[in-house]
Amino acid sequence: MMGRLGAHALIGLLWSLHPLPLALLAVLGRGLGRLAWWLARGRRRVALRNLALCLPELSQGERRDIAREHFALLGRSLVERATLWWASPARLRTLIHVEGDVRLAERSERPVMWLVPHFIGLDVAGVATQLFQTRRVGSIYQTQSNPVFDAAIRRGRLRFDGGEIYSRGDGAKPLIRAVRQGHAFFNLPDMDFGAKDAAFVPFFGVPAATLLAPSRMARALNMVVQPVVAELLPGGQGWRVRFLEPWSDFPSDDALADTQRMNRWIEQEIRRMPAQYLWVHKRFKTRPPGGEPVY
Tens of pLDDT along the chain (295 residues) come to 567 888 889 899 999 999 999 999 999 999 999 999 999 999 999 999 999 999 999 999 999 999 999 999 999 999 999 999 999 999 999 999 999 999 999 999 999 999 999 999 999 999 999 999 999 999 988 888 888 888 888 898 999 998 899 888 777 899 999 999 999 999 999 999 999 989 999 999 999 999 999 999 999 999 999 999 999 999 889 999 999 999 998 999 999 999 999 999 999 999 999 999 999 999 999 999 989 999 9
Res 1: pLDDT: 58
Whether 155 is covered by a domain: the verdict is yes
Res 53: pLDDT: 98
Phi, psi torsion values for 225, nearest 5 degrees? -110, 120
Q: How far apart are CA 61 and CA 11, in angstroms?
A: 36
Whole-prediction pTM value?
A: 0.95
Whether 123 is covered by a domain: the verdict is yes
Burial letters for 217-251: b for 16+ Cβ neighbours within 10 Å, e otherwise? bbbeeebbbbbbbbbbeeeeebbbbbbbebbeebb
Whether 20 is covered by a domain: the verdict is no
Q: How far apart are CA 172 and CA 80, in angstroms?
A: 30
Whether 171 is covered by a domain: the verdict is yes
Whether 2 is covered by a domain: the verdict is no
Whether 81 is covered by a domain: the verdict is no
User: What's the domain count of the chain?
Assistant: 1
As beta bridge partners, residue 113 has 185, 225
DSSP secondary-structure letter at 245?
A: P
Q: How far apart are CA 128 and CA 122, in angstroms?
A: 10
Q: How far apart are CA 176 and CA 138, in angstroms?
A: 9
Res 106: pLDDT: 96
Q: pLDDT of 255-294, one tens digit each?
A: 999 999 999 999 999 999 999 999 999 999 999 998 999 9
Whether 140 is covered by a domain: the verdict is yes
Task: Quote the mean pLDDT of the chain.
Answer: 95
Whether 190 is covered by a domain: the verdict is yes
As beta bridge partners, residue 165 has 139
In 104-146, which residue ranges form alpha helices assigned H by DSSP?
104-107, 122-131
- Least Cα distance to 120 among 31, 229, 27, 238 occurs for 229
The domain containing residue 220 runs over which residues? 88-276
